[in-house]
Amino acid sequence: MTSSSTTFGRYVSLRRSERGWTQSRLGAELDRSEVWVSLVERDLQQVQDLQLLRRMATVLGVAIDELLALSQPASKRPRSPRRRVSSATLSPTSGAEEDDPVRRRPFLALAVAALSVPAAGQQAAQAETVTPLGGLEDLLLYGPDRIPAPRSEPTSKSVATGLVSSRQEFKAARYDVLAEALPGRIAAAGMVGKAEERARHVAQLYNIAARLCIKIGTNNLVSITSDRALTSARLSGDPLVTAEAQRMVSSSWRRQGSLARATDIVVVAAEDLLADKTVAEAARLATRGDLYATAAYTAAKSGDRSYAHALIKEAADSAAAAGRASGLVDGIQGVALHELSVHYELGDAGRAIELARTIDPSALPTAERQARFWTDVARSFDQWGKHENCYRALLAAEEAAPQETRRGAVRDLAVGLLSYDRQLPGVREFAIRAGVQGI
């Protein structure tokens, strides 16, 4: 029983204490940061997502009705004086602001474009349904014999073409096409070439499969595909492919709540790779930047603020050095997107939006990255309690890559926005396209 004066945050704190857990432990159980738990327990962060509420009830060993009956005061989270971003940030009619206009122009330009997206109710049902991963499951569980035979005998050229196509389909966020084609491509890669060549191609394809499963699959599939990728990568002897597989394994551990182990995996992989002089310096630095960016995001989810900031700085330094060596900036952009996620996970929505305003989404090289950018912007605005801005960012993500709206993070945001239906025309239709059930 709870008293009428017990708030949601106070109740969560009491139940956590009864189990002898730290805020970090509860955060790990919920796949949230320690900072997020602290905000919830101080009634500075509302929890409106029904799926998350069900998970909290299970983790805390209480009935969900008890959580639903508790009062959640409106967020009164203090704002830093440096957080000047307001609800006008995504408005084309916003007036003069104190910020440097040159610095904010790229973000506002895309923000205006986001506002020009037709109301969700007027859009065609463009969010294509992502094909289930049944074919990949069959390959993983039963082997290539359960995969339909290719129309022609695979060759080294066809395997290489399939690998290029897989990368392009992922970058274009064409997850349905990729999910259908991957099983056959993986099976074909295991049939052509010498042992090390076969292992390298299989590992590369399983790395893509793991990333696909992170987008639309389950934790179990992420675990299996990342393990297959790492096993094959080690047989191939390719340090870069192995490092990418270790990054996928880290993501698997993170998604299962083992945040410290997940961080260690990529930090050790980054340092091992840096010491490997058989790999060109630019490639080593670029991959090291990716590994450290992943480690920073995981550290942020565990609430380790200082470590997360130190890791993302290492990632940025490595990416910048790789850019100087190669003349490319792709890694720098990738680190910036991870830094955006780091700020969000640490509860620093204002800093996340400040960073987002320095990024030109139209300059991001792939549809997947553009949609990921807008999704993180939406999450940050949601954390800040700015629901209209959150919704506009989600529409921009959908415009960039319709299949990104089927991700769990987008569905969670859509569920939270449904209570503001009258203020957000078309949000129910958007939620349906995002796969929210029972509306």
Residues 150-173 have a mean pLDDT of 93
Q: pLDDT value at position 36?
A: 78
Task: Assess whether pLDDT exceeds 80 at residue 114.
Answer: no
Comparing 57-66, 309-318, 425-434, which segment has the lowest mean pLDDT?
57-66
CA atoms in the 13 A half-sphere facing the CB of 181: 19
As a whole number of Å, the end-to-end CA separation of the chain is 31
Q: pLDDT value at position 90?
A: 38
Residue 127: band (very low, low, confident or very high) from pLDDT cuts 50, 70, 90: very low
State phi, psi for 423 to the nearest 5 degrees.
-90, -15
Q: pLDDT value at position 102?
A: 37
Q: Output b/e per residue, 359-386; b: 16+ Cβ within 10 A.
A: bebeebebbbbbbbbbbbbbbbbbbbbb
Task: Measure the CA–CA gap between 48 and 57, rounded to whole angstroms.
Answer: 13
Q: What is the DSSP letter of 75?
A: P
Q: pLDDT value at position 48?
A: 74
Q: pLDDT value at position 91?
A: 37
Position with higher pLDDT, 273 vs 101: 273
Task: Assess whether pLDDT exceeds 90 at residue 119.
Answer: no
The total of other beta-carbon atoms located within 10 Å of residue 105's CB is: 12
Q: Please give the CATH architecture assigned to the domain spanning 8-68.
A: Orthogonal Bundle (1.10)
Of 391, 397, 394, 399, the C-alpha closest to 420 is 391
Residue 126: band (very low, low, confident or very high) from pLDDT cuts 50, 70, 90: very low
Domain map of the chain by residue range? 8-68, 127-256, 257-346
pLDDT per residue as tens digits for the range 383-418: 999 999 999 999 999 999 999 888 888 988 999 999
Average pLDDT, the chain: 83
Residue 19: band (very low, low, confident or very high) from pLDDT cuts 50, 70, 90: confident
State phi, psi for 426 to the nearest 5 degrees.
90, 0
Residue in the structure block whose two tokens are 């940025």: 316
Task: Assess whether pLDDT exceeds 80 at residue 20.
Answer: yes
